[in-house]
Amino acid sequence: MTHPAYETVARVPTVSEYLRLRALAGLSAFSEEAATKGLAGTLFSVVVEHENSAVGMGRLIGDGGCFVQVVDIAVDPRFQGQGLGKAIMSALTDYIANSLPASVYVSLIADVPAHKLYEKFGFKETAPRSLGMARRAG
């Protein structure tokens, strides 16, 4: 990102940054244990920093060859509307284009209205051909 007040850094967020940004962005909560284990499985990640604080993040998870999923796109609401989500998605899609096989299947589950952002990066709804499905372990 070129905005002088923000820096997009290729790194995994710390557990505390991860949990804080998820909470601020209204994403579901995880335990510190779950976050620690989940972050260890990151394929690629970026953090947007502002005055030495993480204000946004996004991650790629998966096997890095056949399947990759975009997860944890989160921006602190105080910093939304400044192009940070686009900067995060640009960094993730650049990594996908330059570091992964062209045949990799990249998916995500889009919250509304965030799906409009993802459409700008080439993501399309899969329904009715396929539907996203999910469940929790417990």
What digits encode the pLDDT tens for the residues 15-62?
999 999 999 999 999 999 999 999 999 999 999 999 999 999 999 999
Which residues have C-beta within 8 Å of that of residue 75, sequence separation ≥ 6? 21, 25, 48, 55, 56, 84, 85, 88
Q: Residue 63 pairs with which residues in a beta bridge?
A: none
pTM for this model (two decimals): 0.90
pLDDT tens-digit readout, 71-87: 999 999 999 999 999 99
Please say if the pLDDT value at position 1 is more than 50.
no
Please say if the pLDDT value at position 3 is more than 80.
no
pLDDT above 90 as % of the chain: 74
Identify which has the larger pLDDT, 41 or 134. 41
Nearest to 20 by CA among 59, 55, 64: 55
> Is the bond leading into 113 cis (omega within 30 degrees of zero)?
yes
Q: Which residue ranges form the domains of the chain, and what is each CATH number? A: 7-119 (3.40.630.30)
Mean pLDDT score of the chain, rounded to an integer? 92
